[in-house]
């Protein structure tokens, strides 16, 4: 981000009216209880391209690091099939890949200690079709930390498909990893009056998000249960929500929300565009994650081996306490917000040029605001390990010839 002021052309009145008229239809549909389809906000949940996510996603990297011991345990305890078939690691929601290198490397190291160096290992990175796969392939080819650098029997693949669909044929995956990705819903169920974040909504809107999140989690689990081999493991990492309902990002999100209001007042964003700016990210409480599993800790063929919430240190704040560089703190926090959330907000703006100017201006204003009110993120990481069980043998099946 340069220090130059960013100019963004005010939207014209006819354009604003047309967009307001379009919005009336959306609101009317919403009143009728219809879901706002993914087609309304086409690119929700995709990270900022051009490698931006890899540069600025240190918070998810920190969360993933905290979960590494559980991934390693999972790799040590999963049922390895005898024979020579490749082992399959799935990385659901890989984004641009930088944050996948350490977990995939750790998992492969544990598997190698069990199967030796000759067994082929396939690592399949899954993300939405609009993901920046060019950067992912660049990381897989060039990154010094890439997991294949010293292992000729590791084979990377990538799939551009939603993890709310079948991504693999039945029973192909030995070990799944999904970090900071299943927090993104399949659809955005409602507009959020006065805010853009699901944690800030109440009443009917909250109920719509709660329902969507519950449905999506069950769908995600059902699909993964189908794809995992018996004895396989799935490790899921989420930005956590405390039992009190806090994410730790409230000061950041509230600052961004105030700035969006100012941008509407300055007429650089239309009121209708602002209303359509909604994040499809929904952090779940521990109880919501465990809800499908019931008292038996079992959902379909999946059982819960581990589920815990941890505090996540804010590295930018730690550095600020050492060096007192508030500019650097503000830049890092604002760039984090931009790389992860701004593409989803900007998708409410139809013109590509205005989307870019919007992202630049929002980041610039946010950085200024965060420098005025320096504060750490007191965020959390939620980790979960699931194991796929063999189907129960019923007495009739046991006695049949």
Ligand X SMILES: C[S@@+](CC[C@H](N)C(=O)[O-])C[C@H]1O[C@@H](n2cnc3c(N)ncnc32)[C@H](O)[C@@H]1O
Rule CB under 6 A: which residues touch ligand X?
Answer: 45-47, 57, 60, 64, 93-95, 99, 126-128, 131, 162-164, 179-181, 184, 340
| Minimum CB–partner distance for residue 7 and ligand X (Å) | 30
Q: Which is nearer to ligand X, 164 or 249 (CB)?
A: 164
Residue with tokens 């199967």: 115
Closest CA to 249 of 137, 377, 68: 377
| Minimum CB–partner distance for residue 43 and ligand X (Å) | 9
Q: Sign of torsion, CA 222 289 67 95?
A: positive
| Minimum CB–partner distance for residue 127 and ligand X (Å) | 4
Bridge partners, residue 383, by sequence: 237, 308
Q: Which is nearer to ligand X, 226 or 274 (CB)?
A: 226
Identify whether the C-beta of residue 306 lies closer than 8 Å to the C-beta of residue 70: yes
| Minimum CB–partner distance for residue 21 and ligand X (Å) | 31
Q: Which two tokens stand for residue 253?
A: 């999100």
Q: Which is nearer to ligand X, 186 or 229 (CB)?
A: 186
| Minimum CB–partner distance for residue 199 and ligand X (Å) | 16
Closest CA to 381 of 236, 279, 282, 244: 236
Q: Which is nearer to ligand X, 60 or 240 (CB)?
A: 60
Q: Which is nearer to ligand X, 125 or 369 (CB)?
A: 125
Residue with tokens 């996948």: 100
Distance CA 70, CA 112 (A): 17
Closest CA to 344 of 285, 273, 239, 262: 273
| Minimum CB–partner distance for residue 186 and ligand X (Å) | 6
Q: Which is nearer to ligand X, 23 or 133 (CB)?
A: 133
| Minimum CB–partner distance for residue 90 and ligand X (Å) | 11
Nearby residues of 352 by Cβ (< 8 Å), 6 or more positions away: none
Q: Which two tokens stand for residue 57?
A: 């996603």
Q: Which is nearer to ligand X, 8 or 59 (CB)?
A: 59
């Amino acid at each position: 981000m340069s220090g130059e002021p960013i100019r963004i052309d005010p939207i014209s009145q006819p354009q604003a009216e047309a967009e307001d008229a379009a919005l009336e239809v959306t609101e009317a549909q919403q009143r009728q209880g219809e879901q706002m389809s993914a087609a309304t906000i086409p690119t929700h949940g995709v990270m900022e391209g051009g490698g931006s996510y890899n540069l600025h996603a240190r918070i998810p990297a920190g969360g993933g690091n905290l979960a590494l011991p559980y991934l390693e345990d999972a790799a040590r305890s999963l049922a390895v099939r005898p024979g020579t078939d490749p082992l399959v690691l799935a990385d659901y929601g890989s984004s641009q890949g930088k944050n996948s290198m350490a977990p995939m490397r750790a998992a492969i190291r544990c598997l190698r200690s069990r199967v030796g160096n000759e067994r082929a290992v396939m690592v399949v990175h899954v993300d939405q079709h609009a993901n920046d796969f060019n950067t992912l392939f660049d990381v897989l080819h060039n990154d010094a930390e890439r997991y294949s650098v010293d292992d000729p029997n590791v084979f990377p693949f990538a799939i551009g498909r939603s993890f709310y669909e079948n991504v693999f044929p039945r029973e192909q995956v030995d070990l799944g990893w999904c970090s900071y990705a299943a927090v993104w819903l399949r659809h955005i169920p409602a507009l959020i009056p006065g805010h853009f974040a699901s944690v800030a909504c109440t009443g009917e809107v909250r109920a719509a998000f709660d329902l969507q999140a519950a449905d999506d989690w069950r769908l995600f689990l059902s699909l993964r249960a189908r794809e995992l081999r018996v004895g396989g493991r799935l490790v899921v990492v989420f930005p956590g929500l405390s039992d009190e309902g806090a994410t730790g990002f409230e000061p950041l999100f509230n600052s961004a929300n105030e700035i969006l209001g100012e941008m509407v007042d300055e007429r650089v964003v239309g009121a209708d565009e602002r209303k359509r700016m909604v994040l499809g990210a929904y952090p779940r409480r521990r109880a919501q994650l465990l809800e499908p599993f019931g008292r038996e800790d079992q959902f379909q063929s999946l059982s819960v081996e581990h589920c815990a919430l941890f505090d996540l240190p804010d590295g930018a704040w730690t550095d600020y306490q050492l060096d007192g560089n508030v500019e650097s703190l503000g830049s890092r926090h604002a760039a984090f917000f931009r790389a992860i959330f701004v593409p989803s907000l900007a998708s409410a703006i139809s013109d590509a040029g205005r989307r870019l100017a919007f992202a630049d201006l929002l980041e610039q204003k946010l950085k200024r605001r965060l420098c005025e009110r320096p504060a750490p993120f007191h965020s959390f990481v939620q980790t979960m390990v699931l194991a796929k069980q063999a189907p129960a043998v019923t007495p009739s099946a046991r006695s049949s010839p």
